[in-house]
Chain A
Amino acid sequence: MNKKFARLSTPYLYWLYILALFPALFMFILMFLDIPEGLDISNGLKFTLENFKQLSEPSTLIAFGNSFLYAFITTILSILFGYLVAFRLFRSKFKNKFLVLVILILPMWTNILLRTESLAGFLNSNGNVVLSLLGIKSAEFDLLGTPFAVIFGLFVTYVPFMVMPIFNSLEKIDKSIEEAALDLGLTETQKFFKVILPMSSKGIVTGSIMVFLPCLSGFAIPEILGRGNIVLIGNVIEASFKNMSYTIGSLLAVIILVVILLSIFIVSKIDKEGETLL
C-alpha cells in the first residue's frame, strides 16, 4: 500500500533530472566549447579552453570576491537582526504562525525591481519623493552607488528568509526543555545562550544559506543601488548571456553552481527533511 503512494514521487525525480541536472551538465559541456555566438554550432563543435581566460580578468576575480563579501556581510547582518525578530515574534503573544509568515512575505507581492528602484530614490536626497512630500529641502545626502546602499538593499530584501527558518526552529524547541533549564539554575541569559541558541542553530544555518545564495548570484539589486559602479558576479553572468556568449556565461554559472551544490549538501546533512527551510 505504502509503496503505491511512494510511487507518486517518481515522476518528480525525473522532472528534476530533466530540469535541474541535465541543464547543469549541458552548461558544464558548454564551457569547454568554442561557440562565438549563442548556441550556433553550424561551424561544428570545437573544444577549447579559451573561455577560461575570462577567469584571469581582474574584474571577474574582484566580482567573485565582492559577491562573496557582500553576501557574507548581508548574511551576518541578517543573522543578527533576523534572530532578534524571530525570537521576539516567538516570545510575543503573536502565536499565529501563518500570520507571521504572511507579514514577512507580503512585501514580495510588490515587484522586486519596483521595490529596489524605490529604495534607490530614497537613498538620495535629490529627486526624493518622500522628502519632497515631507517638505524637507535642506537634507543633502547621496548614499547611492556605495557598498552601503547595496548591502542595505540586499538586507531588507532577504532578511525575511532568515526570520522564517529561525522562527520555525524556535517553535520546535520543547517547552519543557526550557523549564528544565531554568529549574537547573540557569538564568534567562544563560538559558538563551546554552539552550535556545544551540537548539535553533539549524534554523540559523538554513537561513544563512537562504540569504547567502541569492545575494551571491543576484544582479538587479547591485545594478540599481550600486549605480552600475559595483560589479558583482551576477552582473557579469547576466551581461555574458545578454551578449550571447553562452560559453563564458556557462563557465561562470557553473562556478556559482558548485557553491550552491555545496550549500545544498550542507543543508541536506544538517536538515535532512528541510524542516526549517520554510
Chain B
Amino acid sequence: MKQQETKYINGVPVARIEDYGYRDYSILLKIWKVISNILVYIVIFLVYLSVLIIAVKSFNADTAQSEFTKFTFNHYINMFKDSSLSYAIGNTFKISIVATLVSTIAGTLIAVGIHYLFGKRRQYLMMLNNIPLLNADIVTGISIMLIFSMIMRIPGLQYIFGFPTMLVAHVYFCLPYVILNVLPKLKEIDPNMMDAALDLGLKPHKALIKVIVPAIKSGIFAGLIFAFTMSFDDFVISYYTTGNGFNNLSIWIYSSIGRKSLKPQVYAFSTVITFGAMALLLIANFLSSRKRVKYGKKK
C-alpha cells in the first residue's frame, strides 16, 4: 500500500478516513460527479437534438431535405409567402393565444375556488382535474368530437366545428396545467391577508384581484407558459376537433408531411419560435437578475 502524505494543521496531524478503518471512496464520488454531469449534458442535448436538426434544415436550400445542397437564408425571408402555411400559422396563434388567455383567467378563478374547498369534494375535483391531463390525446380528441357531433345536430349549430370546437378542446386540456400551477402558490399566501383586505372594506371580487392575484402571479405566469406550450404543440386533439377549414400548424404539417415536400419555411418558422423564445427568456432572466443585484434584493 502506498504511503500517503499526512496533512498537518497547526502542527497536529489530521486523521484520514482510513485511520478510522473506513475506505476512502470520495474519489469514486468525484468520478461519478463527472460522469453524471456528462450524462446530464447528453440528455439535454438529446432533448434538443431534433430542434437542432430542424435549425440545420432551415438553412438548407434543398426542398427534399435529403442532402445539404446550399446554405441559404431564403426560407427565413420567404417565411410567410406560402399562403397555406401562413394561414395555418395565423390560426395556430389565434387558437393558442385565445385558449391560453381563457384558460389562464378561468383556471385562476377555478384554482381559487378549489383552494376554498375542503374534504372529499376537493379530493374528488382534484381527481377529475387529472383526467384531461393524463387521458390519452386520441381519447380526449375523439370524446370532444363525439360531443360536438351531437350538438351539431341542433339546428343553427351545424357549422360549429372549427374555431369554437377547437377552442373548447384546447381550454379543456390547458385548464389543469393552470390550476396545478396556481394552487401551490395559493397555499403559500397568508390566510390573514385576505381577511385583512375584507376587513378593510374591499369587496370580495376586488380583494381577489387586488390581493390574491398579485400574490400568486408567478404561478399564474407559469400556468400561462404551460398552457401556451401545450396548446401550441397539440396535434391529435386539434386534428379531431377542427372543421370548416380551420387548420392549425400541426394539422397542416400532418397533412403535408408525406407529400412532395414540407415547405422549408416551416423549419425556419419553428427555429425562429423556439430559439427566439429562448433568447427572450434568457434576456428577461438576465435583466431581472441584474435588477435584483442592483437593488440588493436577494431571494
Bound form: Cα–Cα A26–B254 in Å: 28
Residues of B contacting A: mostly: helix
Q: Report if B270 contacts A (CB, 8 A).
A: yes
B20 to chain A, nearest CB (A): 12
B65 contact from A6, A105, A129, A160, Cβ within 8 A? A129
Known contacts A13-B128, A119-B53, A129-B60; is-contact A19 B172 (Cβ 8 Å) = yes
Known contacts A109-B232, A127-B67, A263-B134; is-contact A274 B183 (Cβ 8 Å) = yes
User: By the criterion CB–CB under 8 Å, are B235 and A113 in contact?
Assistant: yes
B46 to chain A, nearest CB (A): 5
Taking CB atoms, residues of chain A closer than 8 Å to B73 are: none
Chain B proximity mask over A228-261: 1 for CB below 8 Å, otherwise 0: 0000001001100100000001000100110011
User: By the criterion CB–CB under 8 Å, are B134 and A260 in contact?
Assistant: yes
Taking CB atoms, residues of chain B closer than 8 Å to A85 are: 40, 43-44
B189 to chain A, nearest CB (A): 13
A152 closest partner in B (C-beta) = B46
A207 to chain B, nearest CB (A): 12
User: By the criterion CB–CB under 8 Å, are A114 and B136 in contact?
Assistant: no
Chain A proximity mask over B63-102: 1 for CB below 8 Å, otherwise 0: 0011110000000000000000000000000000000000
Q: Report if A104 contacts B (CB, 8 A).
A: yes
Bound form: Cα–Cα A156–B51 in Å: 11
Bound form: Cα–Cα A261–B139 in Å: 12
Known contacts A9-B113, A110-B51; is-contact A237 B65 (Cβ 8 Å) = no
User: By the criterion CB–CB under 8 Å, are A133 and B68 in contact?
Assistant: yes
Known contacts A129-B66, A264-B130; is-contact A110 B110 (Cβ 8 Å) = no
Taking CB atoms, residues of chain B closer than 8 Å to A148 are: none
Taking CB atoms, residues of chain A closer than 8 Å to B112 are: 5, 8
User: By the criterion CB–CB under 8 Å, are B175 and A114 in contact?
Assistant: no
Taking CB atoms, residues of chain B closer than 8 Å to A234 are: 136, 138
User: By the criterion CB–CB under 8 Å, are B274 and A8 in contact?
Assistant: no
A105 closest partner in B (C-beta) = B229
User: By the criterion CB–CB under 8 Å, are B50 and A116 in contact?
Assistant: yes
B24 to chain A, nearest CB (A): 11
Q: Report if B158 contacts A (CB, 8 A).
A: no
Taking CB atoms, residues of chain A closer than 8 Å to B110 are: 8-9, 11-12
B11 to chain A, nearest CB (A): 29
B211 to chain A, nearest CB (A): 12
Bound form: Cα–Cα A7–B113 in Å: 6
User: By the criterion CB–CB under 8 Å, are A129 and B68 in contact?
Assistant: yes
Chain A proximity mask over B266-281: 1 for CB below 8 Å, otherwise 0: 1100110110011001
User: By the criterion CB–CB under 8 Å, are A274 and B66 in contact?
Assistant: no
B53 contact from A8, A118, A219, Cβ within 8 A? A118
Taking CB atoms, residues of chain B closer than 8 Å to A210 are: 134
Q: Report if A96 contacts B (CB, 8 A).
A: yes
Q: Report if A102 contacts B (CB, 8 A).
A: yes
Known contacts A111-B233, A278-B181; is-contact A6 B117 (Cβ 8 Å) = yes
Bound form: Cα–Cα A18–B250 in Å: 26
Q: Report if A107 contacts B (CB, 8 A).
A: yes
B64 closest partner in A (C-beta) = A127
Taking CB atoms, residues of chain A closer than 8 Å to B123 are: 268, 272
A277 closest partner in B (C-beta) = B180
Known contacts A132-B67, A274-B126; is-contact A27 B143 (Cβ 8 Å) = yes
B269 to chain A, nearest CB (A): 9
Taking CB atoms, residues of chain A closer than 8 Å to B289 are: 96
Known contacts A156-B49, A267-B134, A272-B123; is-contact A117 B129 (Cβ 8 Å) = no
Bound form: Cα–Cα A57–B39 in Å: 42
Q: Report if A45 contacts B (CB, 8 A).
A: no
User: By the criterion CB–CB under 8 Å, are B134 and A213 in contact?
Assistant: yes
User: By the criterion CB–CB under 8 Å, are B54 and A118 in contact?
Assistant: yes
B133 closest partner in A (C-beta) = A277
Question: Which A residues from 70 to 116 make CB contacts under 8 A with B?
Answer: 81-82, 84-85, 88-89, 96, 98-99, 101-116
User: By the criterion CB–CB under 8 Å, are A23 and B222 in contact?
Assistant: no
Taking CB atoms, residues of chain A closer than 8 Å to B53 are: 118-119, 121-122, 129-130
B282 to chain A, nearest CB (A): 8
Bound form: Cα–Cα A273–B117 in Å: 12
A121 contact from B65, B117, B136, B143, Cβ within 8 A? B65
Nearest 9 CB-CB pairs, A to B?
A: A9-B113, A8-B113, A23-B143, A217-B136, A127-B66, A115-B50, A118-B53, A6-B116, A133-B68
- A-B contacts, 15 of them at CB < 8 A, read A4-B204, A5-B115, A9-B110, A19-B172, A23-B143, A23-B146, A85-B43, A106-B274, A114-B262, A159-B47, A213-B135, A264-B134, A268-B130, A272-B126, A273-B184
Supplied contacts A209-B134, A274-B180, 7 more A-B pairs, CB within 8 Å: A20-B143, A82-B43, A112-B233, A216-B136, A237-B138, A257-B135, A257-B139
